Amino acid sequence: MPLTPLTRPLTAEDAAHFLRRTAFGATDEQIRALVGQKAQDVARAALAFDQSVAPGNPFDPMQGATPGAALQLGRGAWLYELAYGPHPLREKLALTWSNHFVIATDKVRNVPAVVDYLNLLRRHAATRSFERFTLEVAQSPAMLRYLDNDQNRKGKPNENFSRELLELFTTGIGAYTENDVREGARALTGWSYQGGRGNKQYLEQPRFMYQPQQHDDGKKTYLGQSGALKGEDIVRIATSQPATATFVSRKLHRAFLADTPDDAAIRSSAETWTRTKGDVMAVLTELLASEAFYASRSRIIRSPIEFLVGGIRTLGQPKIDARSLLNLAGTAGRMGQVLLEPDTVKGWDGGREWINDTTLLLRMQVAAALTMGSKAPNLDTPPSLLALTGQERPAGAVLLSSLKGRQRTYLSLISPEFQLA
């Protein structure tokens, strides 16, 4: 059964909830604009994004004097787009996919490869074909380099990508055997890339390259299917498994419903996934207009990036100078989230892992910088408690309402109501 759609018009708290989950946060004006609308219309409109970007981005990673400096500029550029771009849901999905199809810049270290990879995540953010998305990821120089499939050759198979394709990208553990990993690696032989290798070529554009002489064209058996399978066949078979529908649907529920999602709701999304043959757009449209979505309040701990971007967007996207934005990107790293560089290939665990004594202190310092610091934006018209907490009358509303704008905003940003989306 599909998820039950929400049929009543959106209330103010519904609208605030939707924007906290899909746009990191919003102003009072943006919240009011959704009140009274149908949930299905709101979801479709949010998902109808294109590939336009924020004008005036001050960061150009191609100007970096070293690989490290260039990648730091790339993180600044993405943070700018997250905070000021016209399509926050696209960026939220790109952030989600970056924690699913994981790469790490400390190994890739090629600027065009990383930029192309991020743009690939944006193009397929609400993809109509998860198979196509996965294939493009598999053939991207960034992924080929990160999981060593560029070293996968006939007679000397490298199993790294073949293993993670199953374990982390499609079916999850338990739906495959070690023989499937070995046979998948054989089928993926010959995929490599040319250009952009080495620290001196960090600005050179790499491109996917198929080397037929390095491909093992013998018979293979993979997830129950046999033949002279190639890399494209492996991706098709893995993405079409019933386990993939459940595994990836769980990731989407963790991103939009709860750190610990409901199994019955996941099964509903997995049924939609299977019926539509991996149409992520269809799954998200149903998910973001469902009763389950609107009933799930304060069940996601904001990641460091979501906390930073949520604060900026809730304050009305005040302009923050380039140096301060780079500092914020660095602070996110100290809180445990370096953009495009999760700790391991399985990505950030999220949830309670985001919170400890050190990261809470850093969040308080960021909130103070945004509201009380010497460079804090003008708060003559501070956000309402609804915009800050998602509730019109949150706990402590009487106390908060008695405070001045900057103090009230600071205390709201460090409150559990803001930390939990």
From 207, 239, 271, give the residue that closes a domain: 239
| Same domain, yes or no: 212 and 317 | no
Which pLDDT does position 74 carry in this prediction?
Answer: 98
Which pLDDT does position 71 carry in this prediction?
Answer: 96
Q: DSSP secondary-structure letter at 302?
A: P
| Same domain, yes or no: 123 and 222 | yes
CB 165 within 8 A of CB 238: yes
| Mean pLDDT, the chain, integer | 96
Summarize the confidence of residues 5-25 as an average pLDDT.
98
For residue 257, tell me if it sits in a domain.
no
Q: How confident is the model at residue 56 (pLDDT cuts 50, 70, 90)?
A: very high
* Residue 45 neighbours by CB under 8 Å, 6+ apart: none
| Same domain, yes or no: 183 and 106 | yes
Phi, psi of 413 (to 5 degrees): -65, -30
| Same domain, yes or no: 167 and 82 | yes
Q: What's the rounded Cα separation, in Å, for the pair 42 and 6?
A: 11
Q: In terms of pLDDT, which residue wins out, 156 or 376?
A: 156
CB 340 within 8 A of CB 290: no
Summarize the confidence of residues 160-172 as an average pLDDT.
98
pLDDT at residue 268 tops 80: yes
For residue 331, tell me if it sits in a domain.
yes
| Same domain, yes or no: 219 and 73 | yes
For residue 359, tell me if it sits in a domain.
yes
For residue 401, tell me if it sits in a domain.
yes
Summarize the confidence of residues 189-209 as an average pLDDT.
97
Q: In terms of pLDDT, which residue wins out, 93 or 379?
A: 93
From 184, 206, 239, give the residue that closes a domain: 239
Give the structural domain span for 204. 61-239
pLDDT at residue 402 tops 80: no
| Same domain, yes or no: 309 and 198 | no
| Same domain, yes or no: 73 and 220 | yes
pLDDT at residue 395 tops 80: no
The secondary structure of 55-75 as a DSSP string is TT----GGG-SSHHHHHHHHH
- Read off the pLDDT of residues 32-52 as tens digits, 9 standing for 90 and up: 999 999 999 999 999 999 999
For residue 199, tell me if it sits in a domain.
yes
CB 111 within 8 A of CB 145: no
* Residue 99 neighbours by CB under 8 Å, 6+ apart: 342, 347, 348, 350
Phi, psi of 188 (to 5 degrees): -90, 5
User: Which of 241, 239, 212 is closest to 228 using CA atoms?
Assistant: 212
Query: pLDDT > 90: what percent of the chain?
Result: 92
Q: What's the rounded Cα separation, in Å, for the pair 170 and 162?
A: 11
For residue 291, tell me if it sits in a domain.
no
Query: pLDDT > 70: what percent of the chain?
Result: 100
| Same domain, yes or no: 69 and 205 | yes
Q: How confident is the model at residue 377 (pLDDT cuts 50, 70, 90)?
A: confident
| Same domain, yes or no: 230 and 369 | no
CA atoms within 13 A on the CB side of 206: 29
CB 79 within 8 A of CB 325: yes
Please state the domain count of the chain. 2
| Same domain, yes or no: 196 and 341 | no
Question: 207: part of which helix (H) or strand (E)?
Answer: strand 207-210
Which pLDDT does position 398 carry in this prediction?
Answer: 67
Structure tokens at 106: 């400390």
Summarize the confidence of residues 117-133 as an average pLDDT.
98
Summarize the confidence of residues 378-392 as an average pLDDT.
90
Q: What's the rounded Cα separation, in Å, for the pair 247 and 270?
A: 8
Which pLDDT does position 376 carry in this prediction?
Answer: 85
